[in-house]
Structure 1
Amino acid sequence: MDLLDISRMLPDQPSEVYENIKARLHELGVENAKQARFLKEEDLREVLAPVPARQLISGLKDDLNESAASADSDASCVESILNTSTNSGTCDASWCYSFEVPWQSFPAPLIKCCMNNKIPPDDQRREMVRILADKIMKVKHNPKKKELGTIAHAIISKYPSSFLDIASGVRIGSGHDSLASQLCYRVENERRKNKSKDQNMNNSSVKRKKNDVQEYGCINWSPPTNNIKELEIDQQWLLEESRKAVRDIGRVRSLMATTYPLQRSIINERAPVSAIRIKWPILFEDHYMFAHYSKLTGRVDGKEHIIRMMDSSWCLIQKALKNVKSVKVVTTMERVSTICEILQSQSYTASIGMLELLCSYFDEPISQIFRRMESVRGDFVEEAPNHPFLIAIGSTVHCPEKFLVTAEKSIIYSTECFYSAVAYFFVCFYVLNMEYPEEATATLEFMQRYFAGIAEQGSKSSKRRKSDVHPKVIKFAKLLKKAP
C-alpha cells in the first residue's frame, strides 16, 4: 500500500506515522482492497489513536463500496480505490497517481526552500503552479478537481513543511486545499482562454456524516465506561457536593476527571443541556468545562491558549483589514475606531470590536454568535439561538459589565471578562457536541484554527463544501501573513 495514498486518506500526520501504518498493514497481511474490508479499529491500535483509525478504515471501506461496480470489471482499478479517498471510481482517473511532478522544471530557489523546510515566496509558488498546470493539461486537458487534489497531495507529502497555510506563525491548515485551489484556478483560466467548458471542476463533495462533525477535533470523544456502578456512586457524591458552599476541591477535581467517561456518555446520547446540567452541574463551572475540553481534544492549556491568541492578535487583525476594500469592513473599522477614541481606551476594540471585524470580513451576521443588551429582560434568553451564544450586559452598549454564555436557551456561564466568555462559548461547541451555526461557519472556523489551534482536516459544520478548510479562512490567513 503506497505511503502517499495512505496520507491522502489520513492527512496532517507526521511522516513516521505513515511508515508505522504501512508496516502494521503488512504485518496484518493487508495487501489489497478486499483484505482492507476486514480491518478493525483494534488492528491499528498500536499505531493510531481511535478517531484517526476509524477515519482511515472508513475511507478504505467507503471508497471500496463506492467503486464496487467498476472494480468487478477491472481488478487493477480496485487497487487504485484502496490507495485514495478521492478516486472517482473509474480506471480513467488513474493517470493522476502515476503523474510525474516536474520538480526539475520548478524554480531553483523554490526547490532550495523546500529542501530546507522553508515556505517559498508567493511569486515562486505561482510560477510552480503555472509550470505544473501546463504539464497536467498536456496529459489531460480537462482534469477533475479530485485529480488535481491528488497531485497537490503528492507535492504536500514530499515537502509538508513548505506548503502549510500559516498566519503569523499559526498553522491554519495542511496547505492541500489552498494548493489544490490554485491549480484549479490556473487550469480553469487556461481553459477559458481556449473557450472550453469544464463540467468536472465542480464535483460535489462527499456528504459529511453526522458523527464526523460531532467527533471533529476530538481524540477522546467516546471513552469506554468501565466500572459504571462505581462511577455512578462518584457522580452522586459530586451532585451532593455541588450544593455545598464549601467543597472538598481536591476530591471534586479528582472525581470529575475519573467520571469523564460517564459525562461523555450522557452528552453523546444527545441529552438536552438542561438534563446534563441537572446530572453534572459542576461540569458547567469554568475550571471543569475547560478541563473536560482539554481531555476531549488533547489541548492541555485550552483556555489560556485561546485567550492568549485573542489578546495578541488584535493589532495583527487590524493591520490585515486596513487594506480590505469591502464596504462592510471599512464601515466597521471606522465605527470601532470612533468608539475607541470616545472612550479613550483600547479595551472595547480588543474585545467586542475584534468579533465585529471578523464577522464583517467573513460577511456573516454577528447576531448569530453575539448580542448586546443594556439590561436583563425576563424573556431575553428565549430570543437566543439553541447553539452556544454570547450576550453582553451593561448600562452602556460599549462598556459591558457582564458577559453571559447561553446554550439551548439556558444561561450556563457568567463572567466579567470578555475573553473568558469567548473561550467558554467556543469550547461549548466541542464539549456539548454542537455544530457551528451555518450563518457563522467561517468566523467560528477561523477562531477554531487560529485562536484554538485545531487545524485538523474537516470542520465542526455539516454544511457541504468542497474543501476541508473554508476558502475565506485560507484567504484571511494570507492577509494575516502579509500584514506588516
Structure 2
Amino acid sequence: MDDGSLEHEINLALPDLHEETTRTLIEHLRDIIGVRNREDLLFVEPGDLKSFLTPIQSQRLIQVFRKDDQVESNSSNPSTEPETDSPPTVLVSLQGYSLHPPQASGLLPSTQPNASNASWISSFLVPWEKMPTRLSQAMATGRMAHPEDRRIMIRTVVEGMRVHCSNPNRAACAEVARAIVSKYPATFADKTAEGEQLGCGYYSLLKQLKTRVEHVNRDNVSSRIRQPRKRSTSENGDPAIKRGRSELDSYGCINWQPTTLPEGETAETLETKRQIMSTVFRSAGPQAIETTDVNEFMSLTYTYQRHMLNSWPAPTLCEIQEHWPFLFTKRGLCMHFHTLTDIEVDTRLSEALRTKGRRIWNFFQSQRLKWSKETEHLLRECDSAELNQNQIATTAILLLMKYFQEKEDSIFILADAFSTKMSVEREMTLPTTPRVIVLGNDLVSATRWMVSMEGKVFFEPEQLHDFASALAVFFASYYVFNLEYQESASTTMEMIQRFFVRINPDVGTKCPAKLGTSRKTGRVVKRKVASISSRVITFLQRLAEF
C-alpha cells in the first residue's frame, strides 16, 4: 500500500489533521505497525495510534480503516445491528447558529492478532552499557541528564539504530525516544522545573535523534531522498482553506462541545435565561455579573453559549456580544474558560507570574553577557527602578519575546495613558488578533490595560485591575472564541500556555500557519508546524538547569 493511499484514508477520516502529523502517522503505520496492503488496516488498533492522535481521532480513523468490512457485514446482516442504551444527544439552536454534536465513532472488534512490531524496531535494544558513568548514575538516581552526557547518548543510540537501518525515519526515532523516556522519565523527559511533563514528553529527544540521523547521512544522498508530499488544494488549484471546525479549536479543552443540556432545562428555558441576562445587562451594566442570579444563568447556559461559539461559519465577536454580553466581562470570560478547560486562569496566571516571572527575571539578569542588545537594553532600563509585581510580570513576558525574537507589538500595543475605548478605536488601527493595549508612557511602568479583538476594544481598564488580569483575559480569549495564535507571537503564546497556564496537550498546535516571517532575513518562508515548539523546550531546559 503506497503513501498516497494511506494519506487518502487518513484525510477521509481526519480532513483537518496537520500535515506534519499525517506524515509521521503514515511512517508509523508503514514502518512500525507493518501495514503493507489495504487488508492490513483491519488489524490496526487504537493503542497503535495513541501517540499521534486523540482517542476520538483514533476511533474515527479505525472506523474508516474498517469501513469495507463493516459495509459488507451490514449488507449481509441488515437486521442484526446492536441496540445501544446511550442517552439521546440534544441539538441546541440559537437564531441561526447551530452545530450538530460530534457523532460517536464505533469500533469493530478485531478477530486476528495485531500486526504491529513487524520491523527491526520491535527487537531494538538501547546499548545502555556504552553510556557514560555519570549518565548511568543519573538514570539510577532519577536525576536529569547532563547536556554533554545526553549528546553522547544520542550519538550512541543512533549508532546502534544504524546497525539495523542506515537511515531510520521519524517514526522509528519516535518509537526509540518513547521507549527511552518510558524507562527513565526523570532523566530524559521534557518537563518544567516543577516536574510537569511537556506535551508527549519525548519531543526534544525525538528531534535530537532525527537531527543526528540526518547529520550522519549528510553524504549519503540516496538515503536522504524524500518522496514529494501531496498538498491539499481547492478546485481552482489554490491551497485549501479551512472549511469548518477542526482539532485546533478544541485544542487543550475538556468540555469544548457539550451535547446535553443541564437537568431540567430545554432550549426554550435557556433562551429565556439568555434574554433575561441581556435585559439585566442593558439596565444594570457589566457589574451585574457579580450577582448570584447572573452567575447561575451563565453557568446553566454554557452549552447554549458553546453552540453559538462553535457554529460555522463562525459568528463575529460583535454578534456574540449582542447575544451574550456578560461573556465580555472578565468574570464571565474566566468562568467560561474554567468550564472549558477546568483551569481558573486568573488565579493560575496571577500565581505563576508572581513566582515564575521572578525566576525568569533572575535567569536573564544572571547571564546578561549572553543576550542580544535589545534584551540587555531592557534589563538596563529596569536596573534603575524598584520594580513592583506588575512590572516584573510585564518584563518577564517582554524578555521571553526578545529571547524568541518576536516583536512586542504582536502582543502589546502602547497607547496614551488617558486614552479611552472610543479614542483608541478612532485613532488606532487595531489588528484582528487579540492584543493587550497598554495605557502609559512605556510597557513596563503602565498601570492600566485594555484588551482588543477583531479591531475593537472589548475589555476596558475598569475590569482589569492588574497586568495578570489583562494577560488572563487576553489568553483566555483564544480558547473561548476559538482563535488561532498569531504566527508573529506563536512561540511566546505557547510558552504562556505550557509554562504559566500549564495546558500541555500531547498533539496539535494553536498556530497552524504554514507561512511565517524569517527572523534572520525578514522574508516570508515556509513554517514547519510542530506539536510543540523546540524553542520552548530548549528554554525550559535551560531554565531548569539554572
Structure 2 length normalisation: TM-score?
A: 0.68
For the 8 Å contact 1:164–1:173, the answer to whether it is kept is no
Query: For residues 39-72 of structure 1, what are the alpha-carbon distances to aligned partners after superposition, in whole Å with 9 as ceiling and x for unaligned?
Result: 9xxxx9xxx9xx943132245467889xxxxxxx
Inter-CA distance 60–364: structure 2 relative to 1 (3 Å threshold): farther
Contact 1:314 1:350 in 2 (8 A): yes
The answer to which of 162-171 and 442-451 deviates more is 162-171
Is 1:406–2:406 an aligned residue pair?
no
Shift of 1:430: 0.4
The offset of 1:393, in angstroms, is 1.0
CA contact (8 A) 2:375 2:402 kept: no
| Match of residue 230 from structure 1 | 269
Instruction: Please state if 1:176 is matched with 2:198.
Output: no
Task: Kindly report which structure 2 residues correspond to 1:349-360, keeping only aligned pairs within 5 A, or say none.
Answer: 349-360=391-402
Shift of 1:265: 0.7
Task: Give the Cα separation in 1 of the matches to 2:201 and 2:229.
Answer: 21
Amino acid of the residue matched to residue 470 of structure 2? A
Q: Distance in 2 between matches of 1:401 and 1:202?
A: 55
The aligned residue for residue 387 of structure 1 is 433
Instruction: Kindly provide the CA deviation profile for residues 203-224 of structure 1, in whole angstroms up to 9, marking residues without a partner as x.
Output: 9799998511111001110001
1:133 match: 158
Q: Is the 8 A contact 2:43 2:115 kept in 1?
A: no
Residue in 2 that maps onto 1:212 = 247
Is it true that 1:34 corresponds to 2:42 in the alignment?
yes
Distance 1:417 1:254 in 2: 26
Contact 2:401/2:408 (CA < 8 Å) preserved in 1?
yes
Q: Distance in 2 between matches of 1:32 and 1:436?
A: 39
Query: Does the 8 A contact of 1:333 with 1:357 survive in 2?
Result: yes
Q: Structure 2: which amino acid aligns with 1:211?
A: S
One-letter code aligned to 1:400:
A
Q: 1:344 to 1:130 in 2, by over 3 A?
A: same
| Candidates 300, 306, 313, aligned match of 2:349 | 306
Structure 2 counterpart of 1:470: 533
Deviations 1:129-163 (A, max 9, x none): 22211111111111222321222122233444543
**Pick aligned residue for 2:378 from 330, 333, 336:** 336
What displacement does 1:462 show? 1.2
Aligned twin of 1:71: none
Query: What amino acid is the match of 2:354?
Result: D
2:92 matched residue in structure 1: none
Please list every run of 5 or more consecutive structure 1 residues that lacks an aligned counterpart in the other structure. Answer: 1-8, 10-30, 66-78, 85-90
Is the Cα contact below 8 Å between 2:391 and 2:445 reproduced in 1? no
Q: In structure 2, the residue corresponding to 1:256 is in which secondary structure?
A: helix
Asked if the contact 2:415/2:424 (under 8 Å) is kept, the reply is: no
Q: Give the whole-Å Cα distance in 2 for the aligned partners of 1:350 and 1:198.
A: 51
Contiguous gaps of at least 5 residues in structure 2:
1-16, 18-38, 68-111, 233-240, 515-527
Q: Residue 340 of structure 2 aligns with which residue?
A: 296
Note the C-alpha offset of 1:320.
3.3
1:417 to 466, 474, 488: 466
Identity of aligned residues (%): 25
Q: 1:451 to 1:438 in 2, by over 3 A?
A: same
**SS state at 1:237 partner:** helix
Letter in 1 for 2:252: G
Whole-Å separation in 2 of the counterparts to 1:333 and 1:446: 18
Alpha-carbon separation, structure 2, partners of 1:225 and 1:388: 31
* Contact 1:177–1:467, Cα closer than 8 Å, also in 2: no
**How far is the alpha carbon of 1:366 from its aligned partner?**
1.6
Conserved 8 A contact 1:320-1:482: no
Q: Given the superposition, is the C-alpha separation of residues 442 and 63 from structure 1 closer, same or farther in structure 2, using an over 3 Å criterion? A: farther
Change (3 A) 1:60 1:480: farther
Bigger Cα displacement from structure 2, 306-315 vs 330-339: 330-339
Structure 2 CA distance, aligned partners of 1:395 and 1:121?
A: 44
Q: Give 2:155's aligned amino acid.
A: R
| Structure 1 residues 423 and 138: CA distance shift in structure 2, 3 A | same
- Residue 297 (structure 1) shift: 1.0
What corresponds to 1:249 in structure 2? 291
Pairing partner for 2:328 from 284, 294, 297: 284
Q: How does 1:96-111 map to 2 (within 5 A)?
A: 96-106=121-131, 110=135
Task: Tell me which amino acid in the other structure corresponds to 2:510.
Answer: K
Indicate the residue corresponding to 1:459 in structure 2.
Answer: 509
The partner residue of 1:57 within 59, 62, 69 is 59
Aligned to 1:70: none
Match of 1:188 among 210, 214, 217: 214
> Distance between the aligned counterparts of 2:230 and 2:490, measured in 1?
17
Shift of 1:108: 6.5
Q: Which amino acid aligns with 1:121?
A: H
Give aligned pairs, total: 419
SS in 2 for 1:167: coil
* Separation (CA, whole Å) in 2 of partners of 1:205 and 1:448: 32
Alpha-carbon separation, structure 2, partners of 1:397 and 1:469? 29
Change (3 A) 1:223 1:397: closer
Q: Is 1:370 matched up with 2:412?
A: yes
Displaced runs of 4 or more, over 6 A? 62-65, 79-82, 201-209
- Tell me how far apart the structure 1 counterparts of residues 497 and 316 of structure 2 sit (CA, whole Å): 24
3-state secondary structure, aligned to 1:467: coil
| Correspondence for 1:18 | none
SS in 2 for 1:404: strand
Counting only pairs closer than 5 Å after superposition, residues 311-326 of structure 1 correspond to structure 2 as 311-321=354-364, 322-323=366-367
SS in 2 for 1:405: strand
Corresponding residue for 2:300?
258
Task: State the partner residue of 1:240.
Answer: 279
Deviation at 1:296, TM superposition (A): 0.6
Task: Please give the residue correspondences for 1:56-75 in structure 2 after superposition, counting only pairs within 5 Å.
Answer: 56-58=58-60, 60=62
